[in-house]
């Protein structure tokens, strides 16, 4: 696992410097990526589609109303049918269980493009962005502030795997997934780092090299918007909070962002913010992932 993630990051950094079309490797030549989206997307959809094209292949977008996973037909049948057409499937799902069921029945690789529990491709791009800026990952300190959601869960696992310390500050009622945290803690121990969950954002940010936040209202939680926006207010990443960061800290956010809610404008549009580099890096990471699985 450690090797896989480190290889993806290294390959993505290399992909970023590759020569223009016609002179770069095309591991997806004549291959097709099928992308199933149960939720909206800008970055994941476009970066995967461009990645497939730049690697010599093509991508098919399948939107929320088309497949109706498990409703129009069973997940197993969708997996078997798509495996007959496509060389790789990318799936953005509501449910992590359905993600695993699709992967179990598919004869081709299934890439997780976000579900309710994890967002692994995002995490790989996040770590690539840190590596690109700091030239290392091991021993750095990442502070995640806000909702203990899919992005937070994947960062806990990703940081543990690459030997980065992580403190996740969330309200107790919205802590990261307990099984993922416990798994991340054991991996971290093996890799000589510490991952922790806490509730005080100021403690989490103390001396941090990377400060990370995400939306307080993930896709599918729209009905809880009002309650969440008031509960998470003490977790806003703003000028006062980032005063506690270490020297040369950077701000990351997976986007889409909500200025004035999880992050103030001065932070996300300020000199420490790398959010658009991070978004661009989704493309380079998707290329590395696709090349690794086909």
Question: Cα–Cα distance between 100 and 81 in angstroms, integer?
Answer: 16
User: What are the two backbone dihedrals, phi and then psi, of residue 43, each rounded to the nearest 5 degrees?
Assistant: -60, -50
Please work out, in degrees rounded to the nearest 5, the angle formed at the alpha carbon of residue 259 by the alpha carbons of 257 and 265. 120
Q: For residues 88 and 31, is the Cβ–Cβ distance under 8 A?
A: yes
CA 210 centroid distance within chain: 15
**Per CB under 6 A, which of residues 241..260 are in contact with ligand CP?**
254-255
| Euclidean distance between the first and the last CA atom of the chain, given in angstroms as a whole number | 18
- For residue 263, give the nearest of 248, 242, 286 by alpha carbon: 242
The site string for ligand CP over 119-158 (x = CB under 6 A, - otherwise) reads ---x------------------------------------
81 binds ligand CP (CB under 6 A): no
**Binding segment (CB under 6 A) for ligand CP, from list 36-44, 50-58, 93-101, 262-270:** 36-44
Q: Say which entry of ligand CP, ligand NVA, none residue 42 contacts (CB below 5 to 8 A, set by partner kind).
A: ligand CP
Return the number of the residue (119 or 167) whose C-beta is nearest ligand NVA.
119
Q: Give catalytic status of residue 282 as yes or no.
A: yes
Q: Give catalytic status of residue 214 as yes or no.
A: yes
Q: Give catalytic status of residue 193 as yes or no.
A: no
Pair of tokens at residue 117: 């529990």
**Binding segment (CB under 6 A) for ligand CP, from list 15-23, 39-47, 190-198, 261-269:** 39-47
Q: Give catalytic status of residue 68 as yes or no.
A: no
The least distance separating ligand NVA from the CB of residue 207, rounded to whole angstroms, comes to 26
**Binding segment (CB under 6 A) for ligand CP, from list 17-25, 35-43, 196-204, 239-247:** 35-43
Q: For residues 68 and 12, is the Cβ–Cβ distance under 8 A?
A: no
- For residue 257, give the nearest of 110, 141, 137, 151 by alpha carbon: 151
Member of 11, 43, 228, 287 binding ligand CP (CB under 6 A): 43
- For residue 131, give the nearest of 257, 278, 4 by alpha carbon: 278
273 binds ligand CP (CB under 6 A): no
**Binding segment (CB under 6 A) for ligand CP, from list 40-48, 96-104, 136-144, 155-163:** 40-48
Q: What is the DSSP string of 128-184?
A: HHHHHHHS--TT-EEEEES--SHHHHHHHHHHHHHT-EEEEE--GGGPPPHHHHHHH
The site string for ligand CP over 201-240 (x = CB under 6 A, - otherwise) reads ----------------------------------------
41 binds ligand CP (CB under 6 A): yes
Which residues have CB under 8 Å from 40's CB, separation 6+? 64, 219
Return the number of the residue (41 or 165) whose C-beta is nearest ligand CP.
41
For the annotated catalytic residues, the residue numbers are: 92, 119, 122, 214, 254, 282
Q: Which residues are near ligand CP by CB under 6 A?
A: 41-44, 114, 122, 254-255
């Amino acid at each position: 696992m450690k090797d896989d993630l480190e290889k993806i990051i290294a390959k993505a950094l290399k992909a970023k410097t590759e020569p223009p079309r016609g002179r770069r490797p095309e591991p997806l030549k004549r291959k097709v990526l099928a992308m199933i989206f149960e939720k909206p997307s800008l970055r994941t959809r476009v970066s995967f589609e461009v990645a497939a094209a730049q690697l010599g292949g093509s991508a098919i977008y399948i939107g929320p109303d088309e497949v109706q996973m498990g409703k129009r037909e069973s997940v197993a049948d969708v997996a078997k049918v798509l495996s007959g057409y496509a060389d790789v499937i990318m799936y953005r799902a509501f449910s992590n269980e359905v993600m695993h069921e699709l992967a179990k029945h598919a004869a081709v690789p299934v890439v997780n493009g976000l579900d309710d529990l994890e967002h692994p491709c995002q995490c790989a791009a996040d770590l690539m962005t840190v590596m690109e800026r700091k030239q290392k990952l091991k021993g750095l300190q990442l502070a995640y502030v806000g909702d203990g959601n899919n992005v937070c869960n994947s960062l806990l696992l990703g940081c543990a795997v690459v030997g980065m310390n992580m403190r996740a500050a969330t309200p107790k009622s919205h802590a990261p997934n307990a099984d993922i945290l416990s798994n991340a803690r054991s991996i971290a121990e093996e890799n000589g780092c510490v991952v922790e969950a806490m509730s005080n954002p100021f403690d989490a940010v103390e001396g941090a090299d990377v400060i990370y936040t995400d939306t307080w209202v993930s896709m599918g939680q729209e009905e809880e918007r009002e309650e969440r926006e008031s509960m998470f207010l003490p977790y806003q990443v703003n000028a006062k909070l980032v005063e506690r960061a270490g020297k040369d800290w950077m701000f990351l956010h997976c986007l889409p962002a909500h200025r004035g809610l999880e992050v103030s404008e001065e932070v996300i549009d300020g000199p420490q913010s790398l959010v658009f580099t991070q978004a661009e890096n989704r493309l380079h990471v998707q290329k590395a992932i696709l090349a690794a699985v086909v």
